[in-house]
Structure formats: structure tokens, C-alpha cells
């Protein structure tokens, strides 16, 4: 049985969340589970996949979100 990991990237604003989600699914073999609006402009993007893919995806998503925030 293959174990899957769950990865989350929290962003400030929907635009950064969309950029993060795009980067995450393009950079690794992960499935976009969805997003949650937390409040105060925070949005969390959630992906799942194998551990290595989720790690690569969350790193790429965080970098993309930081780029939008600049």
C-alpha cells in the first residue's frame, strides 16, 4: 500500500493562492485537493501525493506565492 502525504501552502490573498496552486501541480505529480479561505485574506492550498512529490510541490508553491507578494 502506497502512503500519501498531504501538503499545504498558506498565502495572503487569492492571487497568490492561484499562483501557488499552479506551481504546485506543474512542478510535481500531485493532486490538487482544494483550497480553504481562512479569513483575514488568508487562503490555504491543499495537495496530496507521495512524500517526495508533495515536498517538491509545496516548495514550488511557496516560492511562487512569495514572488506574487513582492
Question: Residue 41 is part of a domain; what is its CATH number?
Answer: 3.30.70.1710
Domain range for 28: 5-69
Whole-prediction pTM value? 0.91
- In this prediction, residue 56 carries a pLDDT of 98
- In this prediction, residue 10 carries a pLDDT of 97
How many independent structural domains does the chain possess? Answer: 1
Q: What is the pLDDT of residues 19-57, one digit of tens each?
A: 999 999 999 999 999 999 999 999 999 999 999 999 999
**Sorting pLDDT into bands at 50, 70 and 90, what band is 3?**
confident
Instruction: Write 61-65 long-range contacts (CB < 8 A, 24+).
Output: 61/7, 61/9, 61/20, 61/21, 61/23, 61/24, 61/27, 62/9, 62/20, 63/23, 64/16, 64/19, 64/20, 64/22, 64/23, 64/24, 65/9, 65/11, 65/16, 65/17, 65/19, 65/20
- In this prediction, residue 1 carries a pLDDT of 56
Amino acid at each position: 500500500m502506497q502512503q500519501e502525504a498531504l501538503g499545504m501552502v498558506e498565502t495572503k490573498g487569492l492571487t497568490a493562492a492561484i499562483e501557488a496552486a499552479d506551481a504546485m501541480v506543474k512542478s510535481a505529480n500531485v493532486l490538487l485537493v482544494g483550497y480553504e479561505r481562512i479569513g483575514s485574506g488568508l487562503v490555504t492550498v491543499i495537495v496530496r501525493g507521495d512524500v517526495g512529490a508533495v515536498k517538491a510541490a509545496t516548495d514550488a508553491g511557496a516560492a511562487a506565492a512569495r514572488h506574487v507578494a513582492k
